[in-house]
C-alpha cells in the first residue's frame, strides 16, 4: 500500500512539474517573430531611383507614427530573379502582408500566387500586376492617363506636327505599357506627328544619355521627345544642353524636384506629376491587417506641369 501511495505521489509531482513548465513556456513565447504586432514586406524593384529613395523617407516617417509595425524592405536591383527570391524570403519569414512594385510583372505571377496560397495578402503599389487575382488592393497612379497627358503637352506645343522620339522604361513593365499606350492614344490622332525612333533606356538617366546621343546623330531633325519618366528626360535635356540645342521640346512623367527645377530654368518643357504611393500603400496595408477590408483600387491623379504652373508644385525641401 505504501509503495502504491508513493507511486501516486511521484506521479502527481511529475504532472505538476510538467504543467508548471508548460505554463512558463507559454508565457515566454513572443507574440510574433519580430517582437512587433505586424511585419510588412515591401518589395521594391530598384532602390537606386530617386522615387524609391523618396519612398524610404516617407516609410520611415510613417513608421514613427506606427510603433506596432515593422517593415522588411528589399531591393530587386532591376533583376526579375532577385525580386522573386526576395518575395520567396518574405513568404519564408511569414510576413503579415506584402507590398510589391513589380520590376517585370509577368515574372512575379508564380511567386505571388505562392504568397496568396500561404495566406499572405498582397497589395500592388506603383505598378499594376499581371494577375490581379493575387492582390487584395492596389495603390497606383493612372499611368495610361499620364501618358495621354504627356502626349497632349507635346502635341500642343508642336502645333500638331513634327518628328518625335520616344524613350521607354524596361520591357515587360506594366507602367511602361500603360504610359506608352496612353501616349499613342493621343499621338495617333495626329497624322503629322511622326515617331522616328523608339528605344528603351530602362528609366535610367545615364542610359538615356547614351541612347539619345545615338538617336540624335541618326535623326538631326527631331522636334520633340517623350520619355516615360523624368530621369530619362533629364538625360536627354543634358545631351541637348551640351550640344547647345534649344528648339527640341522634351516631356516626361514623374514631376521629381530636379525636373521641376529644369522646367523653371527653361531647359525642360513639361512633365506629368506622379504622386508617391507612400504612405497611402501602408495605410491600406494596415487597414487590411486590422479589418480584413480595404479599397480594391486607388488611382492617384496625374497633373500636367509646365513653366506656367511649376511654382505651385515646387517644394525646395521635397524628397522627390
Average pLDDT per consecutive 10 residues, the chain (320 residues; last block may be shorter): 36 32 29 63 95 94 97 97 98 98 96 98 96 96 97 98 97 93 98 98 97 96 98 98 97 97 98 94 97 87 95 93
Q: Where are the domains of the chain?
A: 38-141+276-300, 144-274
pLDDT of the residue at 222? 97
CA 298-81-126 angle, 5° bins = 15
pLDDT at 61: 96
- pLDDT at residue number 121: 98
pLDDT at position 26, please? 26
What's the confidence (pLDDT) of residue 282?
98
In this predicted structure, what is the pLDDT of residue 296?
A: 74
Residue 85: what pLDDT?
98
CATH code: domain 144-274 is: 3.40.50.2300
Task: Say how far apart CA 232 and CA 88 lie, in whole Å.
Answer: 31
Spell out the long-range contacts of 60-66 with Cβ–Cβ below 8 A and sequence spacing 24 or more: 61/279, 62/278, 62/279, 62/282, 66/282, 66/286
Largest CA distance in the chain: 111
- What pLDDT is stored for residue 36 in this prediction? 52
Rounded Cα–Cα distance for residues 99 and 133 (Å): 15
Does this chain's domain 38-141+276-300 share its CATH topology with 144-274?
Answer: yes
Q: What is the pLDDT of residue 23?
A: 31
- Please give the pLDDT value at position 185: 98
Torsion 221-227-233-236 (CA) sign: negative
Domain 38-141+276-300 has CATH 1.10.645.10: no
- How far is residue 52's CA from residue 197's CA, in Å, rounded to a whole number? 29
pLDDT value of residue 302 = 86
- What cell numbers appear for 77 in the block? 536591383
pLDDT number for residue 87: 98
Beta bridge partners of 224: 164, 249
Amino acid at each position: 500500500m505504501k509503495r502504491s501511495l508513493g507511486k501516486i505521489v511521484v506521479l502527481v509531482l511529475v504532472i505538476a512539474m510538467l504543467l508548471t513548465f508548460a505554463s512558463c513556456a507559454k508565457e515566454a513565447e513572443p507574440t510574433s517573430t519580430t517582437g512587433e504586432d505586424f511585419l510588412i514586406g515591401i518589395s521594391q524593384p530598384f532602390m537606386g531611383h530617386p522615387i524609391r529613395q523618396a519612398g524610404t523617407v516617407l516609410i520611415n516617417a510613417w513608421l514613427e507614427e506606427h510603433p506596432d509595425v515593422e517593415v522588411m524592405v528589399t531591393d530587386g536591383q532591376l533583376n526579375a530573379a532577385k525580386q522573386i527570391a526576395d518575395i520567396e524570403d518574405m513568404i519564408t519569414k511569414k510576413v503579415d502582408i506584402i507590398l510589391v512594385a513589380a520590376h517585370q510583372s509577368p515574372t512575379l505571377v508564380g511567386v505571388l500566387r505562392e504568397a496568396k496560397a500561404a495566406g499572405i495578402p498582397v497589395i500592388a503599389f506603383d505598378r499594376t500586376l499581371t494577375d490581379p487575382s493575387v492582390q487584395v488592393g492596389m495603390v497606383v497612379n493612372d499611368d495610361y492617363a499620364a501618358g495621354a497627358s504627356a502626349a497632349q503637352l507635346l502635341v500642343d506645343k508642336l502645333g500638331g506636327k513634327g518628328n518625335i522620339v520616344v524613350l521607354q522604361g524596361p520591357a515587360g513593365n506594366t507602367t511602361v505599357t500603360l504610359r506608352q499606350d496612353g501616349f499613342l492614344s493621343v499621338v495617333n490622332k495626329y497624322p503629322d506627328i511622326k515617331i522616328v525612333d523608339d528605344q528603351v533606356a530602362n528609366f535610367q538617366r545615364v542610359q538615356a544619355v547614351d541612347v539619345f546621343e545615338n538617336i540624335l546623330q541618326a535623326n538631326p531633325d527631331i522636334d520633340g521627345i517623350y520619355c516615360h519618366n523624368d530621369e530619362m528626360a533629364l538625360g536627354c535635356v543634358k545631351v541637348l544642353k551640351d550640344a547647345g540645342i534649344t528648339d527640341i521640346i522634351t516631356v516626361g512623367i514623374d514631376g521629381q524636384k530636379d525636373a521641376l527645377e529644369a522646367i523653371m530654368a527653361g531647359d525642360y518643357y513639361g512633365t506629368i506629376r506622379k504622386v508617391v504611393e507612400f504612405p497611402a500603400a501602408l495605410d491600406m496595408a494596415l487597414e487590411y491587417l486590422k479589418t480584413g477590408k480595404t479599397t480594391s483600387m486607388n488611382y492617384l491623379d496625374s497633373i500636367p506641369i509646365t513653366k506656367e504652373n511649376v511654382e505651385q508644385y515646387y517644394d525646395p525641401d521635397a524628397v522627390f
